[in-house]
Amino acid sequence: MGAGCLKIIYRPLAEYSVRKHRTSIELPLDLWEELKSRVPPRKRTAFIIEAVREKLLRESMKCVILCGGLGIGMSPLTKSIPKAMMPIGYKPIIEHIILRLKRQGLYSFILAVGHLGEHLVKYFGNGEQLGVRIDYAFERVPLGTAGAIRNVEAKLNGRFLVVYGDILFDRLSISDLLRFHEGKRATATMVLAKVDDASRFGLVSIDEEGRVIAFREKPRQAVPGLVNAGIYVFEPEIFDYIPGSGRCSLEEDVIPLLADKGRLYAYIYKGYWTDIGVLEDYERAVKDFFSGLIEDTYF
C-alpha cells in the first residue's frame, strides 16, 4: 500500500459466517477524511458498499453508439467520411463521446456502423489505444435507430446505454442518470436537453414524476424547450418493444409506445449539448470547442 492511502478490509455481510474471502479497498486519505466528515459512522459501510456496487455496474455495462446513418444533412462532407468521424478540434466526434464516458467508468462499447463503417474500424480497432474495449455491429442495409439496437442484442448482457454518434455533451453525470433510472424502475430513460431554440426538434412533455407523457411537433417559431438529447438507458425488456425484423425507428416506433405504456422516464440534463445534424451545427460545434465551451477530452 502506497503512502497517503488508507486500506479498508471489507467483507460483505453474507460472508461473515462462511469467511470465504476478503476484498481490499484502498482509499486516499483525503477521500477518507471527506467521507468521515460527510457520512455518519453507522452509514459508512453501506455507503462504501453502494459506491463499489455502482462502480462495478458501470464498468460491466455496455454502451451502444449509433453511427450507421448516411449523414445526409452533412453532405457533401459525409460522402467520404462518416458523420461520427467528423473532427471537433483534434478528435472525431465519436472519440469525444467515448473518452467522456470512459472518464466516468464505462469501458465497453459497441459501435453500430453502416455507411463507411470501415473508417471507424480502421481508426479505433479494438479500442486498446484508448484504454477501452470496442466491438462492432455491421448493418448491410440501413436498419434505423431501433433496428440498429436490435442488431446488437446478442452482444449485450443486461442494462445498457445508447448514445447517438453525432451529438456532443460535456458534463453529463452517468452516475446520476443511472440512479434516476433505477429509482423510477423504468424500462427506458431518455435524456432531455434544454435548448433556447427548439424549432428543429420535437418537444417532450413530462409529468411531475419525470414520466414522459407527450411528444409535440416542431414549433414553427424559435422557442425554448426540452428536446431528446439522443442518450438513453435501456433495460433488456426494451427488445419486447422492437419488431423482430426490418427498419425501425426509436423516435417514431418505440419511444411513443413506451410512453403510452408509462414505461419511459426523462432525465433532464442542463449542461452543454449540441446535435450535429447539419453543416451549420458542425461549424458552431467547432467554434464552441475552440472558444472553450466544450472541454477537451484526454485519456
- Of 188, 185, 187, 178, residue with least CA distance to 50: 178
Q: What is the dihedral of CA 149, 61, 187, 231, to 10 degrees?
A: -60
Would you call 23 helix, strand, or coil by DSSP?
Answer: strand
Q: Which residues of 10-21 are buried (b: 16+ CB within 10 A; e: fewer)?
A: eeeeeeeeeeee
The radius of gyration of the chain's CA atoms, rounded to the nearest angstrom, is 21
**What cell does 174 get?**
452517468
Has 155 been annotated as catalytic?
A: no
Kindly report whether the peptide bond that precedes residue 243 is cis, defined as omega within 30 degrees of 0.
no
Of 218, 261, 270, 287, catalytic: 218
Q: Which residues are catalytic?
A: 218
